[in-house]
Amino acid sequence: MVDEVEGVNSLPPDEYTFLAEEFARVVDRGIDSYQEQGAPGRRINYVSLAMDSRTVLICETDERGIPHFIVTGTETDNKGATLRQRAFIGAAAEVATYGRADQSANLAEDQTVVKGFEVGRQSYDLVENAVQEALARGEEVQRKIDEESYIYFPPLPRKGTETMVNLDLEPALDLNMIRDLVSLGWQEIKRGLGAKIDEAYVVFAKWAEHYIFADNEGARDSVVVPRVAFVVVVKTKKGSEAFGALRGSCGKLAEIFSRGDDYRGKDVFECVKILAAKVTKEAVNLDRAQSMKVVGNEFYAILSPGVSGVLAHEVYGHTSEGDIIAESRYSKTAKVNLKGRLGAQISSHKAFRILESGTPQTDLGAGRTIAFGWGSLAVDNRGDLPLDVLIAENGTMVGALLDRYCFGDVTDGLPANILKTIEERGLTGNARREKFDDPCLVRMRNTYICPDPSGPETLAKMADLIPRNKKGIYIASCHGGWVQTETGEFQITGNLGYLIENGAVTDKPVKDVVILGNITNFGDQIVALGSGVTVSEVFTGFCGKDGQWVPVESVGPLMLIKDVKAATAYSPRPWAKLIQDYLEQFEQVKTGQRRRENVYIQDVVEGLDEGVVSSHTHLCVSTALLGTVKEEIAWILGRSEHADFVSVEDPEKGRHLVRRSNSYDS
C-alpha cells in the first residue's frame, strides 16, 4: 500500500476564489464597526466568514440494473458557456467574544450558481447578525464569571495562513466510462448471485468540495477537495446484506480505485470486477453463516484491517477529540475521566501506536504508506492546515485533536512532557462541519493504528497464537461501530466472520458478530498487532457526531484481542435501522421537534456495567454506508438544510438575506 500523490498547484482555481479577499474585508469591517470598549466579555476576539459549495456527479442503477445519471456536475448558461453546477451554495459566519455565535445562509435555494458581488453584500449582513448574537452570549459568560466563579478559557489565537489550491486532478470525467463502470458492477453481481438476489444497487459518485474562507487573523483560503466513491450494496432473498466500496480523495479515479492491495496495478474495470466478486462472496457466505453464539459469551477475535480501524476510530479517536474531553471534564454524568487518559497508558501492548492524519499521504512505518485517504483535507473549516497527530505511542496517550476553543481547557494542568508537544504543535486542523449550516466540531479525518514491525505477517500466524482449547472469530467485515463517550462503552458491529478452531481460521462463516467493551479496560485485551504487510485494505465511511456526518477513513494491521464480550443477549435490528434512527432523531433536533438531550437510539446497548443511560446525546457513530444508498445520495447532494437565513430576490432590494422561520419553534 505505497502510493504517491501528484502535484496539484497548476490547476485552475474555483471561480469564486476572489471572494477570499472580499471576505477578509468583511470580517475586518465587522470588527471595526462593532468592537466595544468596557466589559471584556463583549470584546470581539475572532470573526470568520466562509462560502461552502459542492459540485456533484452521480450515476446509479435502478431496480433493473440500468444506470442513469442523477446529476452531472455541469450546466450551460444562456451564452453557451459550461459552468460548474453546485448542489448547494451557502455562507457561514462565526464570531467569538467570551461567547461564540454561528450564523448561516443558504445563498442559492432556487439556483445552482450565484453572482459573486451579491455574495459579498449579503455576507456582511450575515456577519452583523452573528456579531449581535456573540455580544449577547459574551455578556452571559461575563455574568457567569462575575457571579458563579465560572472558569473561562480564551480561544487560542494563531497567525492565519493562505492556502489557494485545487486538488481536483480530473475535473471532467468520461460520462460514458462512468456509466459503463456502474453497469459492469451490477452485471457482475447479477452473474455471481443469479436468482439469490433480492436487491442490488451500484452507485458512482464524485463530488468536489469548494471552500472559500477568511478570518481576522490573516487566513485566506480557496480550496477544492474532490472525493470519489463507487459503492455496491446487495440483499439476498434470505435477507443477507453485503456491502463494498472503493473510496478516496485528492487523487485520480484510477488511483483511488486501486488503493487496496487486491486492486493494485489493475485498471478501473478490473477493480470493479474484483469489488463485485468480494461483495458476491460475502453475500453467499452470509446466507450459509451460523450465529456468533457458537463461540459463547467470551472469545478471542482477530480483526481485519478495516475492522481494527473502526475500533481505533471509536475507542481511541473520539476520546481524543478535544471538545469531547473538555465537555466530559465538567459533566456531572460522565463515568470516564477522558482528560486523565492524556499521559496515561491506554494499551498494554508496547508497540501500540495511533496516528491521526488529514493529509492525502501518510507514512505508517513498517513499509506502509497510505495515500488518497477518504477523510483528507486541504484546510479544516477554520482555515487551519491538517496536521498529523500522534495520539498514542508505545501504549501511552500522548496527543489530542484540538481546535481554538478547547485548546486551553484540554492543556490546562497536563503533564509537562505532554504539554510541551501539544503546545508546539498548536491547532491540529480538525475543525470540521458537515456543511455551511452546521457549526464546527472537532472531528477525525483518517485514523490509523500503525503496524508492529515484529508482529505476525499473516492471518494464519496470528490465529496460531490462540490457545488450541479456545474458539475465536476472524471478523472480516463490519458495518461500523459506536461509542458512548459519557460511559466509555463501545460496540463494533461486524457483518461477516469466520470461526477459529484449534488455532486456525476455518471456512465456517459466522454472521452478526457484535462485540462490546469499555474504553477504560480494552487496552489490556490487545494480544498482538500484525506487521506492515497485514495493512491491506482501509475502512471508508462516515462519522456521526452531534447529528453531523463527515467522511472518515480508518485502518490498522490485523489485531488479535482476548476476552471479547459478545452481544448475544439481544437481537439487534439491521445496522441500517440504527443509522436511520440516528438520522431521523437529529433531524428532529435541528427542526426543533426534539430536544438534544432526548436523543435515544433503541439499538444501542447501554448500561453494560454502569446502569441505564437515559440519553444518547454523546453517542458517536461510524458507518460504512450512510443508512441506505438513497440516504447517502441525499447527504452528498446536501438535501437536508437548516440555515438561519435564505437569500431571496426582491425587485427593489435585489438579493438579500431573510431570516428563515422555524414552524416548530415554541
Same-domain pairing of 126 and 211: yes
Whether 145 is in a domain gets the answer yes
Same-domain status, 554 and 571: yes
pLDDT digits (tens, 9 = 90+) for 121-156: 899 999 999 999 999 999 999 999 999 989 999 999
Q: At 219, which CATH number?
A: 3.30.2290.10
CB 163 within 8 A of CB 44: no
pLDDT of residue 332: 85
Residue 558 or 613, more confident = 558
Question: Are 72 and 59 in a shared domain?
Answer: yes
Residues 235 and 301 in one domain: no
| Mean pLDDT computed over 389-416 | 97
Q: For the chain, how far is it from start to end, CA to CA, in angstroms?
A: 54
**Residue 600 forms part of a structural domain:** yes
Instruction: Please check whether residues 523 and 600 belong to one and the same domain.
Output: yes
Kindly report the average pLDDT of the chain as a whole number.
Answer: 92
Q: Is the pLDDT of residue 160 over 70?
A: yes
Answer whether residue 662 shows pLDDT above 70.
Answer: no
Q: Is residue 478 part of a domain?
A: yes
205 with 277, same domain: the answer is yes
**249, part of any domain:** yes
pLDDT in tens, 264-293: 999 999 999 999 999 999 999 999 999 988
**Tell me, what's the pLDDT at 616?**
87
Answer yes or no: is pLDDT of 642 > 90: yes
Residue 663's pLDDT band, with cuts at 50, 70 and 90, is: very low
Q: Which long-range contacts (CB under 8 A, 24 or more apart) does 80-83 make?
A: 83/113
Decide if 4 is inside a domain: no
Which pLDDT score is estimated for 169?
A: 86
Is residue 8, in this structure, part of any structural domain at all?
no
Q: Helix, strand or coil for residue 197?
A: strand
Residue in 374, 377, 469, 387 with CA at minimum distance from that of residue 424? 387
Our count of domains for the chain comes to 2
Express each pLDDT in 514-563 by its tens digit.
Answer: 889 999 999 999 999 999 999 999 999 999 999 999 999 999 999 999 99
230/263 same-domain check: yes
Once rounded to an integer, what is the mean pLDDT over residues 28-53? Answer: 93
Q: What is the pLDDT of residue 171?
A: 83
Is position 530 within any domain? yes
In a domain, 664, yes or no: no
pLDDT at res. 666: 33
For residues 180 and 282, state if they share a domain. Answer: yes
Q: Are residues 457 and 545 in the same domain?
A: yes
The position carrying cell 466562509 is 50
Quick one: pLDDT band at residue 568, thresholds 50, 70, 90? Answer: low
Please tell me whether residues 230 and 312 are part of one structural domain. Answer: no
Residues 409 and 280 in one domain: no
C-alpha cell at 662: 422555524
pLDDT at 602 > cutoff 90: no
Question: How much is the pLDDT for 595?
Answer: 94
pLDDT at 664 over 70: no
> What is the span of the domain harbouring residue 590?
290-626
Do 310 and 206 lie in a common domain? no
Q: What angle do CA 216, 222, 226 make, to 5 degrees?
A: 140
Number of H helices, E strands in the chain: 12, 31
For residues 662 and 185, which has the higher predicted lDDT (pLDDT)?
185
